């Protein structure tokens, strides 16, 4: 066992503390350091004939003896007790134990505990040293007070400085790894090291980052990581999308009134207060005074300073900041995902981050994403109103009776219907008329792409012309030679332009529109064999076929894959044993999915995050879901199509990727021909009544 005295700055002077190569001796190490830091011991007074351990044992024994001389009578019983304390002192270097009382800050009475009490040591205990236990430790310590923390059978010297709890570096190996570090604390799930005077040192370890398994991107906050995964936009595509959107939103921000800007920023402030338990200002002040400030990257510091400009504007202390200031904050807060990926339907899932993480970074992220979301919605709303005004003027000038502008045509059509789900959410699904209109335009675009042409996304709603009362839809603009980026831009523009006409304000939907926007980002190379398959997938995308057709397709795919699995004697179907759909099993916690998920109660994990289990689950839910949607014995869902719509909204982002994967991996695509043909023609076999008089199912 080896003790080493090292110098450190503390309380304006220089002192020496112990580090040891064996944590079994943590009691002697921490107790010695507590005495030194409280100016009750000094290693420089040690005589050379004594080792460090012997010197401290003698010093501690002397303090115990002096206390008994001054506080108790010299009886035989008390002399025996003093001998017991001397024995404990000798065992400090080999290990002693104290017994915390569970659920309290107290310890059980024992000679070992009394030794700390006699010496005046504040002895605390905790299950871990992290941000969850810091509030309790902070409450038990006075400002600047030094104590000893009993943690997992070891003793550790701790100190409360500027409201933050620090632990002294007493392990020799850790000290050698970070020689400039004297104290450590935890910030945002990473260990932060500081010098003896609590000034910043660059040594820090265990920083938690979220790494994308498909690319080299890394994220500091989980919500940005999940947004990146939502569509998994490659860096090059993200840059194109960001450039495409940023200029438009910047111009919009600079033009809007102070009242509108205040409303947008207030949404961000309220989101932070709801998720973190505090508004922006108190979190900002705590950040400046705490250790997180010391390790905050420069770009984040700059963004937080710019955030103060926004707060001053909200407090009417200065004029509205420019779009450069706002976009600078959004860029850092979103870690580069802003304006580059699709905003999820219904907004982001803002959890109560403040209860689990002490992080100004997540505050900045939550504020940024909420502001981006509200800004985008207001921009889309205003542009739609402006476009309608322009379109009415242009339509009035239209002289060709054989052609009609798209907005005027769809204004006479019923494109969506409302449905009430099991959880009482009201959502939309496309009518057959709505599906036919969208598919005819999509097929026109896909045929142009197949022929080697595209428009690079440089077309708008007024370029769409309708002939024959909807029988033909065209884009009345000269195309150029097709490129991969140009095709992606066309397909994204297609869904962006259609959305306002299929969207009802304040109501979720339509299903699979977001998924279509995300799916086009995975477009394969134009010369590859997969390109034709991908075009087939988009032409019959779930967004433009009845939800019931998708469920029937998944049922057929399950049977097809299951037959192959049995022929190959596989317990699981290996081609679908992929982890590209991580997260779908979270549905197990939601009714009525949980009943089907745990139908076989003998299995603790009946389904896993892979395509095969997803296919099994959807098939089982469609077949059994009605059984578990009864409330007090009364069937709450009369139309089975509601189950299909629920699956579309809750599992859609996984289902589209599953179907595309199946199309790619089948070694003999001909085996899929009948299944896929039945799926793609299913809309023609419905019994709805079209608005033009042909038969069409009124709903789905």
Residue 390 resides in a domain: no
Mean pLDDT of the chain: 82
335 plus 414 within the same structural domain = no
Residue 104 located in a structural domain: yes
Residues 6+ apart with CB under 8 A from 677: none
| 694 assigned to some structural domain | no
> Tokens 């529109």 identify what position?
513
- The three-class DSSP label of residue 13 is strand
Q: 601: how many CB neighbours lie within 10 A of its CB?
A: 7
Q: Are residues 185 and 237 in the same domain?
A: no
Q: How far apart are CA 276 and CA 356, in angstroms?
A: 9
Comparison of pLDDT for 277 and 477, the residue scoring more: 477
Coil, strand, or helix at residue 633?
coil
- Give residue 530's Cα distance to chain centre: 31
Residue 415 lies in a domain: yes
**Burial state string for 383-415 with b = 16 or more CB within 10 A and e = fewer than 16:** eeeebeeebeeeeeeeeeeeebbbbebbeebeb
- At residue 4, the pLDDT reads 83
Q: How many domains does the chain have?
A: 4
CA distance 525 to 484: 7
Whether 416 is covered by a domain: the verdict is yes
Q: Which helix (H) or strand (E) holds 112?
A: helix 111-119
List pLDDT tens digits, range 605-660. 788 888 888 999 999 998 887 887 777 777 777 778 888 999 999 999 999 999 99
In a domain, 524, yes or no: no
Looking at the fold, whether 420 and 563 belong to one and the same domain comes out as no
Are 602 and 674 part of one and the same domain? yes
Please give, one letter per residue, the 3-state secondary structure of 221-270.
CHHHHHHHHHHCCCHHHHHHHHHHHHHHHHHHHHHCCHHHHHHHHHHHHH
Query: Which residue among 148, 182, 205 closes a domain?
Result: 205
**Same domain membership, residue 366 and residue 253:** yes
Which helix (H) or strand (E) is 561 found in, with range? helix 547-567
- Of 350, 384, 418, the residue that ends a domain is 384
Q: Are residues 50 and 126 in the same domain?
A: yes
Do 557 and 619 lie in one domain? The reply is yes
What three-state secondary structure class fits 397?
coil
CA 102, CA 357: separation in Å to the nearest integer? 24
Residues 267 and 363 both lie in one domain: yes
Q: Which of 514, 533, 558 is the last residue of a domain?
A: 514
Task: Assess whether 379 and 453 both reside in one domain.
Answer: no
Listed in sequence order, the DSSP H helices in 132-193 are: 134-140, 172-177
pLDDT score at 251:
87
Asked whether residue 651 falls in the same domain as residue 556, the answer is yes
Same domain, yes or no: 629 and 510 = no
Pick left, alpha or beta for residue 205 (phi over 0 → left; psi -120 to 50 → alpha; otherwise beta): beta
Q: Specify the pTM.
A: 0.46
d(CA 518, CA 515): 5
The residue count for the chain: 700
Helix (H, G, I), strand (E, B) or coil at 570: coil
Q: Above 90 in pLDDT, residue 166?
A: yes
In a domain, residue 697? The reply is no
350 and 300 in a single domain? The answer is yes
Greater pLDDT, 603 or 149: 149
The domain in which residue 233 lies consists of 218-384
Sheet holding 183-187, edge to edge: 123-125, 146-151, 154-161, 164-168, 183-187, 190-194, 200-205
- Does residue 449 belong to any structural domain of this protein? yes
Higher pLDDT, 146 or 190: 146
| Residue 38: closest CA among 22, 17, 54, 19 | 17
Band the pLDDT of 311: cuts 50, 70, 90. confident
Q: Is the pLDDT of residue 234 over 60?
A: no
The pLDDT tens digits for 672-681 are: 888 888 888 8
Q: Looking at per-residue confidence, does 22 or 348 come out higher?
A: 22
**Between residues 297 and 16, which one has the greater pLDDT?**
16
């Amino acid at each position: 066992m080896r003790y080493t005295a090292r110098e450190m700055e503390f309380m304006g002077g220089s002192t020496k503390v112990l580090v040891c190569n064996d944590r079994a001796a943590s009691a002697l190490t921490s107790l010695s350091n507590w005495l030194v830091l409280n100016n009750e011991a000094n290693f420089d007074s040690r005589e050379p004939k004594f080792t460090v351990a012997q010197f401290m044992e003698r010093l501690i024994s002397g303090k115990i003896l002096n206390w008994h001389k001054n506080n108790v009578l010299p009886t035989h019983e008390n002399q025996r007790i003093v001998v017991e304390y001397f024995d404990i002192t000798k065992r400090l270097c080999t290990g002693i134990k104290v017994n915390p009382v569970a659920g309290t800050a107290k310890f059980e009475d024992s000679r070992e505990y009394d030794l700390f009490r006699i010496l005046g040591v504040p002895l605390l205990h905790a299950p871990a040293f992290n941000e969850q236990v810091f509030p309790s430790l902070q409450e038990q310590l006075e400002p600047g007070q030094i104590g000893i923390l009993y943690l997992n059978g070891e003793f550790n010297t701790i100190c409360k400085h500027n409201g933050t709890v620090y632990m002294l570096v007493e392990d020799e190996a850790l000290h050698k790894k970070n020689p400039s570090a004297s104290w450590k604390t935890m910030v945002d799930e990473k260990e932060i090291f500081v010098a003896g005077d609590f000034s910043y040192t660059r040594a820090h370890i265990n920083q938690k980052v979220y790494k994308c398994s498909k690319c080299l991107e890394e994220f500091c906050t989980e919500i940005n990581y999940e947004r990146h995964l939502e569509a998994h936009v490659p860096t090059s595509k993200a840059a194109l999308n960001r450039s495409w959107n940023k200029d438009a939103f910047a111009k919009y921000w600079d033009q809007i009134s102070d009242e509108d800007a205040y409303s947008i920023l207030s949404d961000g402030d309220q989101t932070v207060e709801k998720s973190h338990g505090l508004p922006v200002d108190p979190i900002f002040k705590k950040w400046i005074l705490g250790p997180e400030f010391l390790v905050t990257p420069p770009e984040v510091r700059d963004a937080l300073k710019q955030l103060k400009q926004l707060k001053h504007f909200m407090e009417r202390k200065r004029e509205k900041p420019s779009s450069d200031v706002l976009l600078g904050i959004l860029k850092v807060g979103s870690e580069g995902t802003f304006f580059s990926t699709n905003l999820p339907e219904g907004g982001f899932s803002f959890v109560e981050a403040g209860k689990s993480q002490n992080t100004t970074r997540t505050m900045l992220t939550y504020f940024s994403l909420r502001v981006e979301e509200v800004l985008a919605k207001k921009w889309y709303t205003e542009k739609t109103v402006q476009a309608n005004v322009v379109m009415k003027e242009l339509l009035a000038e239209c002289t060709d009776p054989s052609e009609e502008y798209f907005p005027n045509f769809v204004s006479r059509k019923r494109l969506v219907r409302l449905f009430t789900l099991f959880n009482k959410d009201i959502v939309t699904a496309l009518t057959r008329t709505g599906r036919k209109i969208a598919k005819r335009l999509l097929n026109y675009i896909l045929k142009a792409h197949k022929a080697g042409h595209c428009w690079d996304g440089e077309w708008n709603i007024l370029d769409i012309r309708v002939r024959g009362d909807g029988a033909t839809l065209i884009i009345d603009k000269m195309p150029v030679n097709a490129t991969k980026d140009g095709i992606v831009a066309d397909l994204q523009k297609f869904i962006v332009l259609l959305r306002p006409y299929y969207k009802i304000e304040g109501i979720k939907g339509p299903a699979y529109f977001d998924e279509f926007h995300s799916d086009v980002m995975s477009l394969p190379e134009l010369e590859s064999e997969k390109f034709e398959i991908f075009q087939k997938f988009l032409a019959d995308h779930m967004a433009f076929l009845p939800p019931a057709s998708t469920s029937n397709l998944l049922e057929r795919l399950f049977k097809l894959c299951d037959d192959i699995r049995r022929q190959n004697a596989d317990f699981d179907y290996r081609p679908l044993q992929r982890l590209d759909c991580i997260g779908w099993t979270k549905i197990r916690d939601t009714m009525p999915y949980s009943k089907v998920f745990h139908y076989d109660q003998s299995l603790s994990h009946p389904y896993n995050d892979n395509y095969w289990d997803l296919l099994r689950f959807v098939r089982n839910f469609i077949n059994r879901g009605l059984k578990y949607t009864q409330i007090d014995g009364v069937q709450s869902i009369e139309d089975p199509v509601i189950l299909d719509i629920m699956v579309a909204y809750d599992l859609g982002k996984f289902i589209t990727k599953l179907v595309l994967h199946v199309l790619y991996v089948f070694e003999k695509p001909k085996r899929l021909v009948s299944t896929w043909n039945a799926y793609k023609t299913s809309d023609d076999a419905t019994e709805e009544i079209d608005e033009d008089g042909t038969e069409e199912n009124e709903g789905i």
